Chain A
Amino acid sequence: MAEEKSQASSSKMLTLKASDGVLFEVELNIAKEMKTVQAYIDDCEDIETIPIPNVLGKHLAIVIEYIKKTNEEYDAEFEKQWNMDDLQLLLLAANYLNISGLQECLCKAIAKRIENKSPEYVRKVFNIENDHSPEEEAKLRKEYKWAFEGVDKD
């Protein structure tokens, strides 16, 4: 895929290469929202193709779209389209690429999805093993048993 070099630096294009080889042409100002990419550019000014080894093409496409479109409305609807697995991979991508707005948005979305669920449900959905040692488990039990105290004066 050939890149275009344009006169004005604001419309200079960069190529990002996802882990599965998919290539994305993005404008420089979009790519700069990814602080990791920015650091790359700062280091080697002439770079034209930047490898993104941790992120699949599918997720990189979503991330780029987010950067282009982000605003209050878009963010509110954004997270609803993705399942839990995609959410996690998107979060890891946002974290690696250092895009704080997307990271916040995704953390908030994940919190919302697990908010009213029990630890057992969360473990099931996220496929996590409860690896607490018996001592830790006992400590936790103590922590989350809430004591009520009756209102004494009556």
Chain B
Amino acid sequence: MTINTLAEEGLRREQMACFRKMEKVIVAMQDPDMGMKMRNQRLLITVIPHAMTGQDIITWLIQKYHIYEEEALHLGEMLVRYGYIYPLKEPRCLVLRPDESPYRFQTPYFWTSTRWPASELDYAIYLAKKNIRKQGELMEYEKERYSLLHKRINHTWDFVVMQAREQLRASKQRRKADRIVLECQEQAYWLINRPPPGVQNMLDWGLERPNNLSARIPLNSDYYKSEIETSRRALGRNRVKSSVCLEGAPVPTRLRVERWSFSFMELLTDAMGRREFMTYLEKEFSAENLHFWQACEEIKHGESSKIVEKVEDVYKNFLAPGAARWVNIDSKTMDKTLEGIKRPHRFVLDDAQMHIYFLMKKDSYPRYLKSDLYKNMLAKAVVPQETKKSVFPFMRRQRHSSPSPAQASAQAAEEDGRAGTNSAAGSQL
């Protein structure tokens, strides 16, 4: 059986495949020649047609589909449990008895459907109708649900009462036999769609099942006020994350890339350089060193209030035995650091950080400079145009220093401004 997700209201839902198949079986049973044999149901003074016994159903299924009795019983069970056929003698007991117990077909409007799930409003109207008919003698669980619904959809309760009365008045226009059938149909429908407590819900969607009615929150003004507040806060949050990509030109200049080879500190202080180095380390599976170094930097330069929790994180991620990104520090430094962590302060990880720094400098850094990654970076790097030395001094253009990101974008903005685009954008830059 395929499980369909219950989409939000308004979206088109599909009928579950198993329901469509069951509907076909039911329609086949209506065939005037090959269909089910119908009997009459005799009540005291009324006779209602179109009843069948459990045995009839099973016999028909066996003959039509050439199956064994066991399978026919199972198929018939499903038809009853999903509400296409309902029992007349014991309406709350949705089983198929292979004997003389009477059953009847359900009208298409009340067929189980994933496309048209039963709504709260309809259930409220049904309970109100039942309340009127039985002069308040609802069952315990129905009374509970009635009061829950009264709280939950209170704003439309007047409509519920009005509609319940009108629907009863409309059904009074039918003859008695039809009225009885109508009541039985509706009851069968709601026994399936809102089963009594303790009965398994046939429309249970497993993980996607709707919450227990009693645990639901009432849709009153307080609830909506809090929802509005949450949304407003969410909207107000600044979503622009300035990342390293935003700075400067995506293609670095040659000079910049060359600076990385001057010293390891140069590489680490340049954000782009650090990123490139990280990519390289990831290939070598030793990226945890750089991560550790960065985390230590954050602790050193970060907020005092967050030191304790950051140190805790670093310990969990990098220093604890069996940590995800365990860093290789010599035992003496490790012992000292672990002692220091018991009383964390801003510089407690300095020794470890230094150790890792030198490790990277001696080991990974030289290899990086010799790597293809770095060499490609050099090749891609842009050499800014040297200004032409003009013959006539007074025609000499100003020599531009290697364009820094700020100036480059300012120039671009000026050009844009001249081209007539939004001057506000230019002034922003």
Whether both chains belong to one complex is answered with: no
Residues in chain A within 8 A of chain B (CB atoms)? none
